[in-house]
Amino acid sequence: MSKPPLPDAAADVLKKANPAVVTTLRPDGQPVSAATWYLWEQGRVLVNMDEGRKRLEHIRGDPRVTLTVLDESNWYTHLTLIGRVAELRDDEGLTDIDRLARHYLGKQYPQRDRRRVSAWIEIDRWHGWGSMKDSGQAG
């Protein structure tokens, strides 16, 4: 596994509206994965959750997470980012979920009646596969 910063080619993949899965840890240590939207900005990742999501509870108990991003044009090419949630904040005015929705859907987020929380993930390590294969990985 490599340490940040990620190469430009990996950052280019992360800038796209790709399918992604975030994994959090339950209190008993069991990993739990869920599909998610994300934004890659300045070497960090933004994800956003409804205030009632179980994964938000998991993050509050243990900030360690992974995010696996599949290149939408070739799912064999994927990146896994290993890190921790360094910042949690209320998504006042739903500005962050709107940015995510515009990135993925081209319009503002439709559900406006629930509070949301934004999480910024800082990357400790990463690995890739397919065209993003890290040269330090086994074959």
Q: Is the pLDDT confidence value at 139 over 60?
A: no
Strands (E), 59-133: 64-70, 78-90, 116-129
**Where do the domains of the chain lie?**
8-132
Q: What pLDDT, on the 0 to 100 scale, is given for residue 1?
A: 79
Strand order in the sheet with 64-70: 31-35, 20-25, 64-70, 78-90, 116-129, 44-50, 39-41
Read off the pLDDT of each residue in 10-33 and give the average, rounded to a whole number. 97
Read off the pLDDT of each residue in 56-79 and give the average, rounded to a whole number. 96
Q: Is the pLDDT confidence value at 130 over 80?
A: yes
Q: Is the pLDDT confidence value at 76 over 70?
A: yes
Mean pLDDT (the chain) is 95
Q: Is the pLDDT confidence value at 138 over 60?
A: no
35-54 exposure pattern, b = at least 16 Cβ within 10 A, e = fewer:
ebbbbbeeebbbbbbeeebe
Query: Superfamily assignment of 8-132 in CATH?
Result: Electron Transport, Fmn-binding Protein; Chain A (2.30.110.10)
